[in-house]
Every structure is written in structure tokens, then in C-alpha cells.
Chains A and B, each alone.
Chain A
């Protein structure tokens, strides 16, 4: 017990880390190969860096959504939902054309985790992709998954450690400027978001949403972002301001390990 199948895969311009506990190791490895192959497929379909991806062709008007693989319509529908819930602060369009980049990674990580969790005998799965994590089940009896939140101001250090607090599903997503600079765009202006935040971490059951809400809260800024996160059911947030202030939703304490 406690021994798992681990793997790190470079895809989508970042690295995905897998940790699968329980199950027969041959079956787990086969499912892992399948999950990894799916991630590369998703990259080929959704990458805006590849001129020949379906999403790039969609943006140029060469394809309709119906002509794309079914995942494209599914992801665009999820993105539309995220845009609605975030009151427009999350957007899957950039300069007027479809760009679901902001939702694809979280959605892919969550999908990979759920497929691995479906393998017979698997008791726990944790998948991280570019700093966003979806954990399901438990790593070993009597212990929840523990996810460290990287401290953007102290490389190698942690701001906090969160765990599932008794829930089966734990997603942790962080949005910020630590590594890629100002890459979050204010969808209302089309310019880099003007924010007083350094990083926002969102804790929720599903990474698809946690990822979108972290981006949206970051773009909103500290006061409005915190208030909005507080209004979302089952969702908690940890916000780090440029002044070094740490803000969090009321319910976050239950997840702090």
C-alpha cells in the first residue's frame, strides 16, 4: 500500500505528473499510456501554437465547430458556462476568435484523472498539469492527498498545504504572474489584466472549474475576486496581493492541512 504508479509527461508546453494508487499495475500502466495519448491528441486539436490544429483552423474560419472533433464543441460549451458564471471575467475568445486555451488544460487534467480512477482496484489518483492538480480518492488508507501551494515570492517554498478535508474530489488551481509574466487578459479590454494580485489559488471539487475561477478571480483583482469566490458554492480561494497580503475565503480553513 502507498506504492503507486508515477509518471511525468511533457505535453501542451508544460509537464503533467501522474500518481496512481491501487489497481493491478499492468492495467494502471495501460490506462496511463491511454491517458497520455489522449493528452497529446488534445494538444494537436486545441493548440493555438499549431497552425494546423482544428482550433487554429476554426479561428481562421476554415472549419465549423461541427467539422471539428466532438471535444471541441464540448469544451466550447464548458467555456461558455465559465464565461456566464464568471460574469465575463473568464473568456474563451481572444481578439474575437475562439481560444479555449484557458480551459483546456484543467479540463484535460480532470478528464485524465477520472479515467485513471475508473480502472478496477484504483483507490486514489492525483494528476497535476502545469501547476493545476486534480486528486480523487485517497493515496493510502487514512490519509488524504496533500497538495502544496507554491509560494510565488519564495521559489521552492510553500504558501500553504491543502488536503481534501474528507471529500473524495479535490482540485487545486493557481493563476498568477510568477512564471509567465502578465498572461491573463482582461476580456473586457483585451489587454493584460490590471490586478493587485500576485497569485490566486482556487480549491474546488472539479479542476475544469477551479482553473477557470482562478483565472477569473485573478483578472478581477483582490477585493472583487475574493467577494466573487465567496459567492460560489463549494469553492474556496487563497489570494496573494502584490503588497504581500494573504486573503482567503471563509471556508478555506477546512482544507488547510
Chain B
């Protein structure tokens, strides 16, 4: 029991990093004009440990990083950073970095994302900050669900509830 307890924070850190990286990659690989069903199809496949999602190669932290696996327990410790591998999405390469401190997600940064055309850049200019903010808000408030004025399917994709479903998914 004690050993299990002790291991939990570490495992959480790994899971948080892995699922968040994959969730972020999944979200980045969706453009606002893709159909909601496509978006959901992708999110439904986001696995608990980031093991078999389409973006799974990006879900595991890169070996050379000072990240969670094998690292010191994160409780109260220094910030740990995990950088995902570059993942080829249908829109272009995506790479993200997450920072976890004290078992909590504290930063999400997109290192690489599609910028081929002006539309990509326009989408990224609002999608990336929003995604980052929502992933952080959901996690820091430790909430399970979100109540808000009726989400349409389109609205859902950019909502806190969606970020929550994916971070936990």
C-alpha cells in the first residue's frame, strides 16, 4: 500500500505528460474546418497511456530529456520537461513540450506546427494559446466536467470540456 502510494505521483507525471502531449498533438492535427466526427474519432482513440493513438510516437518523451521516466519523484521537486518526438500529422509536422512541476502540468509549448500557408498561421495564432490555456486551466482546477451555456459540436472542439476529455482520455 505504502509502495503503491509512493509510486503514484511519478506514474501520474508520466501519464500526464504522455496523454497531454498526445492530446495536444491530436488537437493540433485538427483544423477548425475538419468535421466534428473526425475530431471525435481522433479523441476517442487517445489512449490512457498514449500507447496506441495515431500520434503515439509523439506521446512518449524523447529519451534524452530530463523527463519523468526514471526521474526523481515530482512532488515538490523541480520542474520536469518532456519533449515529444516530431509527429507527422496530415497537416504537417507537430512537436510539443510539456512541463510538469509537483505532479502538475505547468506549461504546454508547441515547438513545431504547420505553418505552410497563411490559413495555418491564422488558425495557429488563436488555437495554440487557447489550447494551452485550457489544458492548464482544466488541470489546475482539478475538475471532472465543465458546465457552460450550450456547446454546439463545433464549440465543443475548442472548449475546456474537450481539453479535459483529451487530457484525461
Contact = CB atoms under 8 A, between A and B. Distances in A.
B143 A174 contact: no
Contacts of B48: 3
Interface in A162-188: 172-180, 183
Interface stretch (B89-97, B106-114, B116-124, B146-154): B146-154
Interface residues of B, number: 35
A126 B148 CA distance: 15
B9 to A, nearest CB: 13
Contacts of B151: 14-15, 130-131, 179
A13 B150 CA distance: 10
Interface string B126-169: 00001001100110011111111111110110111110110011
Residue from B137, B145, B149 with most neighbouring chain A CB atoms (10 Å): B149
B32 interface: no
A74 interface: no
Given A146-B141, A148-B141, A156 B160 contact: yes
A176 B144 contact: no
Of A7, A15, A19, the most chain B CB neighbours within 10 A belong to: A15
B44 interface: yes
A199 B137 contact: no
A13 B159 CA distance: 15
A128 B137 CA distance: 18
Contacts of A119: none
A8 B165 contact: yes
Contacts of A145: 144-145
A176 B148 CA distance: 8
B37 interface: yes
B40 A15 contact: yes
A105 to B, nearest CB: 8
A15 to B, nearest CB: 4
Chain A interface residue count: which class? Answer: 35 or more
A6 B165 contact: yes
A32 B85 CA distance: 34
Given A10-B40, A13-B152, A128 B130 contact: no
Given A157-B137, A158-B137, A150 B43 contact: no
B147 A14 contact: no
Contacts of A13: 152-153
A17 B165 contact: yes
A145 B40 CA distance: 24
Given A17-B161, A156-B133, A156-B137, A146 B40 contact: no
A147 B146 contact: yes
B36 interface: yes
Interface stretch (A43-51, A54-62, A132-140): A132-140
A252 interface: no
